[in-house]
Structure 1
Amino acid sequence: MRRVAIVSEHASPIAQAGSVDSGGQNVYVAQVARQLAAQGYAVDVFTRLDNAQLPRELEWGKGLRIIHVPAGPARYLPKEDMLPYMDQFGEFMLGYFGKCSHSYDLIHANFFMSAMAALPVARQFGIPLAVTFHALGRVRRQHQAEADKFPDSRFEIEDGIVRSADRIIAECPQDRRDLIELYGADPDHISMVPCGFDPQEMWPMEREPVRASLGWDPNAFYILQLGRMVPRKGVDNVIRGLSRLRKQYSVDARLCIVGGNTTAPSEESTPELARLKSIAREEGVLDFVEFTGRRGRSQLRRYYCASDVFATTPWYEPFGITPVEAMACARPVVGSDTGGIRYTVVDGVTGFLVPPKDPDALAERLARLALDRGLSARMGKAGAQRADQLFSWRCVGTQLANVFEGLYESSMAPVPARHWGAETRLTA
């Protein structure tokens, strides 16, 4: 039996997705761990201890464990504040690997800090290291400028990881290009494996009954925005698009925004909420915007299926799981022409791609769907077919397992595939 260590310093698979630092990476880590376990791997997920009440080791299912790593205070920390504790994270892993009764065949690090902590462990014990970045510092800085709270040292750390990792997992073609063009990654050491959706969670439902269960107007045109409530997600742009859709195209449109730090959001618990409500008020659409707060995974399908269209217009998006989930629920997607959304959404077939920060373009595409329900239905059906063919977590797990098996076999070869220098520790 192969044993894999998945490292995800800030994104625990048991965290509630939808808050400021809990989102797609949490879902990714949870699903990849489950899929590998289902294929017969023994999987340990190493994640930072952020609650003193959590056990050091948690049996999470057959072949699945979560190891809570003491690194910094045992409470929530923004991921931007975790960098000083990554040496501590790595030292714990070194000790754990050295003392445990079993050996690991591969380490899969998620995010640059996880790779930073895991690299010395991989080299000391001769274990292949695969890295999924989920977001790249230079890309983030391009789009967020001074709002990016990570230090410049992140760039040098990522450069070292790109040079040293045995395999880099790119999530979409744009991610692969960025790794090559911005980091000088060797194309031969990159494998592209996307994110996915769970067919047991997401599938089409009849709109009318589920809309009634949410208390939505049966005749209105509903736009859904779902995800973390942070500025880069472009929720403000969707609000402005709603305003133009109502005023310029006379569409009786409503917007439901799912996300936030709590199930009953307040401006205190979710700071971004105050800004978004102010924008909705200025645009004259506050009465047509519903801020539902965070919802559990089991509830999300109802929101996707009750809506007419899913809209997501982030400034940038390394991949974006929510558009795939919306497609799996047979809903057309209008999304930013950037990153992973450019890969998952086929413009004019499964939805539309629009420039970020362009509410006029967004409103025009939404109006097309609102005024042509046949087009909307065709796009929804095409999206469901594309999701089923390319983006199920089972398919993702199989692709990753193939990559990992190739790495393991290469590591067993008499001649190492790559030469590593003596120094493998990366510092902030």
Structure 2
Amino acid sequence: MPSVALISEHASPLARPGAVDNGGQNVYVAHVARHLANSGHRVDVFTRRDGPLPEVVQWHPRVRVIHVPAGPPHYLPKEDMLPFMDAFAEYMLGFARRQRQHYDAVHANFFMSGKAALPLCRALSIPLVITFHALGRVRRLHQREADRFPPSRFAIEEELVRCADRIIAECPADHADLVQHYGADPRRIDIVPCGFDASEFAPTDRAQARAALGWDPATFSILQLGRMVPRKGVDNVIRALALLRRTHGVAARLYVVGGESTDPARDRSPELARLRHLAQAEGLAHAVQFVGRRDRDQLATFYGAADVFVSTPWYEPFGITPVEAMACARPVVGSDVGGIRYSVLDGDTGFLVPPNDPAALAQRLALLAARPELGRRLGTAGLRRARGMFTWRLVARQLARIYADCQRASPAERPMAHAIRARLSAGASPPAVGVRGASPAAVPGLASP
């Protein structure tokens, strides 16, 4: 039975998505782990302990979640976790040795997980696969001074690009960014998208969904769902709603799902406060409903109740929510950026608009409000595309093939071995493992450079 270690330092599969640092990566890791297990793999998920949690949780019959004691046992913003990754790495190496656990592959998620994975992979000669989920240089281009990650992130990502056996790009834009900004070898990049679970998301009757949620059956209803952070562009949707009502004469309503609490009145997050203020300033307090965070088993009802799903972030490495909306046969209007440009086919499954352009968004929404049959046609096409390309079962199957390909390469042929040889021949010190350090002899095939 193949065995895989999934590392996700800040995004636990046990966490509820919707809060500031709980989003697509949590969903990705949870579903990849579960579907790999369903296909016969044993999976250990390593994530940072952020509360009074047991060391090991048997989450599914073949999936364990291991809570790593790295840093204080409470919530930390992910931007503050980098100093604890050496302790994270040392714990994982010790855990693998204590358990006598052999991993056929290590799949790191995010650059800090990759940093923690390198000592484990070097010491035990395990192939390393990495999904970055977001790239530091791309993030810095878009967020500028709002990006709190240190510049050292770039060097860590560069080392991971050199050393990883395979790099998972989530869409063609991600592939291009890896090559352009990091000089990644295209031969070691595989495009594997994110997905949806058909047992969670499927078409539902709109009237029944609206009745369940208490929505007006006749009002043109727009859904925005996801984390409440500035880059998601929820403010852009609110401004577009104002134009839709004032300029186009559509008495639409916007439902915003997500946040820190299930009770939006108790949510004190700065971003939600900013969005509330904007809605009031636009005269939309009666037309925008902040719903709060909802569990995943409730999300399909929200997708099903909406006439259209909107997602207009400044940038988006992939974006799972548009795929979920498509799986519910709803048209999507999304930003013409990153992964949304890949998942949404403009004019076929929805529409693409420039980010931060409320007028363009309002124009597309007005078209869908005027032509309900167009929304139904786009939604049907989106459902076909989602089922054909973006299921978690397909994602896990592709990842399993990649892990197996990595296993077939000899240790001396792997990129990590070449990267270490290059450092040694240039006179650099051998790479450290945890806080104890290791020599080249710790990696088979590297006893002499």
Deviation at 1:284, TM superposition (A): 1.1
CA shift, 1:212, in A, is 1.1
Cross-structure match for 1:201: 200
Counterpart of 1:192?
Answer: 191
Q: 1:209, 1:157 → 2: CA distance?
A: 50
2:444 — aligned with what? none
Structure 1 residue 154 corresponds to structure 2 residue 165? no
* Distance (whole Å) between structure 2 residues aligned to residue 241 and residue 411 of structure 1: 55
Task: State how 1:405-416 maps to structure 2 within 5 Å.
Answer: 405-411=404-410, 415-416=413-414
SS at match of 1:379: helix
Aligned residues: CA RMSD? 1.3
State the TM-score, normalized to the length of structure 1.
Answer: 0.97
**CA–CA distance in 2 between the matches of 1:280 and 1:210?**
25
Aligned residue in 2 for 1:287:
286
Q: Which runs of 4 or more aligned residues in structure 1 lie more than 3 Å from their structure 2 counterparts after TM superposition?
A: 414-418, 422-427
Aligned AA (1:46): F
- 1:266/1:273 contact within 8 Å kept: no
Q: Distance in 1 between matches of 2:342 and 2:130?
A: 20
Aligned to 2:30: 30
The alpha carbon displacement at 1:95 in A equals 1.1
Where 1:130 maps in the other structure, the secondary structure is strand
Distance 1:268 1:6 in 2: 32
Question: 1:130-181 CA distances to partner (integer Å, 9 max, x unpaired)?
Answer: 0000000001011111111101111111111111111100000000000000
Instruction: Give the residue type in structure 1 aligned to 2:50.
Output: D
Q: Compared with structure 1, are the counterparts of its residues 194 and 30 closer, same or farther at alpha carbon in structure 2 (3 Å cutoff)? A: same
Residues 334, 362 of structure 1: 8 Å contact kept:
yes
| Maintained 8 Å contact 1:119/1:424 | no
Write the distance in 1 (CA, Å) between the matches of 2:251 and 2:433: 55
2:77 aligned partner: 78
Partner amino acid, structure 1, of 2:46: F
Contact 2:133/2:170 (8 A) holds in 1:
yes
Q: Secondary structure at the match of 2:145?
A: helix
Whether 2:249 is the aligned partner of 1:244: answer no
Matched to 1:289, the amino acid is V
For the 8 Å contact 1:301–1:329, the answer to whether it is kept is yes
Q: Output the CA distance in 2 between the equivalents of 1:145 and 1:426.
A: 33
Number of aligned residue pairs: give it. 425
* Match of residue 65 from structure 1: 64
2:126 matched residue in structure 1? 127
TM-score normalised per structure 2: 0.93
Report what 2:4 is aligned to. Answer: 4
Question: Which aligned pairs between 1:24-423 and structure 2 lie closer than 5 A?
Answer: 24-52=24-52, 54-266=53-265, 269-411=268-410, 415-416=413-414, 419-421=418-420, 423=430
Could you report, residue by residue, the CA deviation over 1:7-47 in whole angstroms, capped at 9, with x for unpaired residues? 00000000000000000000000000001101111000000
Q: Please, which runs of 5 or more residues in structure 1 have no aligned partner?
A: none
- Segments of 5+ residues of structure 2 without an aligned counterpart are 425-429, 435-449
Opposite residue 306 of structure 1, the aligned amino acid is: A
Percent identity (aligned) = 60
Q: CA deviation at 1:285?
A: 1.1
Equivalent residues of 2:226, 2:258 under 8 A apart: yes
Q: Name 1:16's counterpart in structure 2.
A: 16
The separation in 2 between residues aligned to 1:6 and 1:155, in whole angstroms, is 22
Counterpart-to-counterpart distance in 2, 1:317 and 1:267: 28
The residue type paired with residue 115 of structure 1 is G
Checking the alignment, whether the CA contact within 8 Å between 1:49 and 1:71 is kept in structure 2 is: yes
How far apart in 1 are the matches of 2:60 and 2:115?
A: 28
Q: In structure 2, give the amino acid aligned to 1:30.
A: A
Secondary structure of residue in 1 paired with 2:409: helix
Q: Is the contact between residue 116 and residue 425 of structure 1 (CA under 8 Å) also seen in structure 2?
A: no
Equivalent-residue separation in structure 1 for 2:287 and 2:207 (angstroms)? 19
Q: What residue identity is the alignment partner of 1:328?
A: A
Matched position secondary structure for 1:44:
strand
What letter is aligned with 2:178?
L
Post-superposition Cα deviations, 1:66-99, rounded to whole Å, max 9, x if no partner, equal: 1100000000100001011001101111211222
